[in-house]
Homo-oligomer: A and B are copies of this chain.
Amino acid sequence: MSAPSIRARVRAEMIEEIKAVARRHLATEGGNLSLRAVARDLGMVSSAVYRYFPSRDALLTVLIVEAYQALGDAAEAGDAAAARDDLRGRWLGVAHAVRAWSLAHPAEYALLYGSPVPGYAAPSETVVPAQRVVFALAAIMIEGAAAGRLAPPDGTPVPSPVRVDLARLLAQRPGALTEEQLARCMAAWSQLFGLVSFEVFGRLAQGVVEDSEAYFDHQMRLMADLAGLPAEPGRPAEPGPRHDRGQSDEPGQSDEPRQSGRPGQPDEPGQPASEE
């Protein structure tokens, strides 16, 4: 079944090689990918690259799509690393996985969530993979709601104009969330990327927050509280979110070096039992 001719094979390999070198350049240099430099690294002349990608933006686009996929994979792996009924552990697993991937790939993260690149607008093939992270968060809440383990939202109710927008979203996907719960899910989602953007783009670590991983962990726990996720696995929802957490372990994290500063206890920063 090797219908693909030799030429087609080397073409596919060449495309992969160009993407690999481009990704490497993106990692070492900044976000301004130079097509000529990539060609130079490959021992080609710049015009030869145009046999494989019609423009530099096209190259960037496929890198963006693949970066979305990698980020989505990491997020789902972070979810899968926790026990199914440990809703809060899964939530934090997704969040920490997103953060770890982003810190390990800052230039690609900037392509996804930084300023849009000058000319081009994110093409349509990016919208689906871009939704995987928020869907991962929503899935956890949906499961919790189905199991009756989500604390009922209190506080400001959703006003009508927002309610219709959210209801339209909810109608698209199966799952039983109220508009209040979906709004909280999206709050956690934007909070997650706000935090990661601050950290990746260096607008946080001006010596202000020393232990940025523990800070991030706490912030995402606040969002878990907001979402109504139970603090412990297997328990039904409690109206007042308590907090002494069960297993200390949990994240796993699959790939990505995680570079968490200090190893040994990669996640779950020291949360002392009651107080200090």
A209 to chain B, nearest CB (A): 5
Instruction: Determine if B219 and A118 form an interchain contact, defined as CB atoms under 8 angstroms apart.
Output: no
Map CB proximity to B onto A207-225 as digits: 1 under 8 Å, 0 otherwise: 0111100110111011111
Indicate which residue in B117, B158, B215, B241 contacts A156 across the interface (CB closer than 8 Å): B241
Which residues of chain B are within 8 angstroms of A164 by Cβ–Cβ distance? Answer: 210
A193 in the interface, Cβ–Cβ < 8 Å? yes
Map CB proximity to B onto A145-187 as digits: 1 under 8 Å, 0 otherwise: 0000000001111111111110001000000000000011011
Q: Determine, out of A1-9, A14-22, A55-63, A268-276, the stretch whose residues face the partner at the interface.
A: A268-276
Which residues of chain B are within 8 angstroms of A211 by Cβ–Cβ distance? Answer: 161-162, 165
The total of chain A residues at the interface (CB under 8 A) is 76
Instruction: Determine if B159 and A201 form an interchain contact, defined as CB atoms under 8 angstroms apart.
Output: no
Indicate which residue in B208, B225, B275 contacts A169 across the interface (CB closer than 8 Å): B208
Instruction: Determine if B241 and A155 form an interchain contact, defined as CB atoms under 8 angstroms apart.
Output: yes
**B-binding residues in A (CB < 8 A):** 29-32, 110-111, 113-119, 121-122, 127, 130, 154-165, 169, 183-184, 186-187, 190-195, 197-198, 201-203, 206, 208-211, 214-215, 217-219, 221-226, 231, 240-243, 248-250, 255, 269-272, 275-276
Q: What would 6 A/B residue contacts be, using CB atoms closer than 8 Å? A: A122-B203, A156-B231, A187-B222, A190-B198, A192-B194, A226-B226
